[in-house]
Structure 1
Amino acid sequence: MSEQLTPEDAKLVTLARAARARTGAVEGAAVRDGDGRTYAAASIVLPSLTLTALQLAVANAVSAGAAKLEAAAVVTEASTLDGAGLATVRDLAVDAPVYLAAPDGTVLGAVTE
């Protein structure tokens, strides 16, 4: 199912794609905070630390002072959002849309609860 995005939400998909491509990571993510600032990240896997792209994007936003999220996007080859990343978004926004997109940027759907 393809979703129609606002220009601001389409920007999140673009940022997530760029983060994923830049590092060759499994996934990329981007979030927009309550002030309209955006944060992008790629998944990381280290011997001592593993974070999904969405967890890291939310952590970047929180470390910059964000208290609320408006929307998020994840670009991945997976067909579903990971539970850990979605839970991290829900810590700051119970109903913000989280868009799931394929590597080519095609939006497959959105989770809003």
Structure 2
Amino acid sequence: MNLIIRIIVTAGLVFGIAHFLPGVHVAGPFTAMVVAVVLALLNVFIKPIMVLLTLPFTIVTLGLFLLVVNGLMILLCTKIVGGFTVDSLWVAIFFSIILSLSQSIVYSIVGGDK
């Protein structure tokens, strides 16, 4: 049940952020839901591999390269989900930062544990 709530919250945040952030476009609420599911799957299966492969860059940049990895996850999601577009890597990085901060705030209010 907690997973379903997290997916719904993430979908709402994706839809809301895309509405206000120039360069991010979501076709509709259903597309936002698909984006939330795909992002969850990418974060479970692909992101750990990318973090491991980019570990030297992450160490040298004191962890800041993880922002790029998050942006790449967003761009990969745009290739998988039709109706979800992001104009550039910089916009994807900014989108991922806003999404992560928003999720942290909402999950602390809702009480969703990781």
Bigger radius of gyration: 2
* TM-score by shorter chain over 0.5: no
TM-score of the superposition, structure 2-length normalised?
Answer: 0.31
Higher normalized strand content (fraction of residues): 1
Higher normalized helix content (fraction of residues): 2
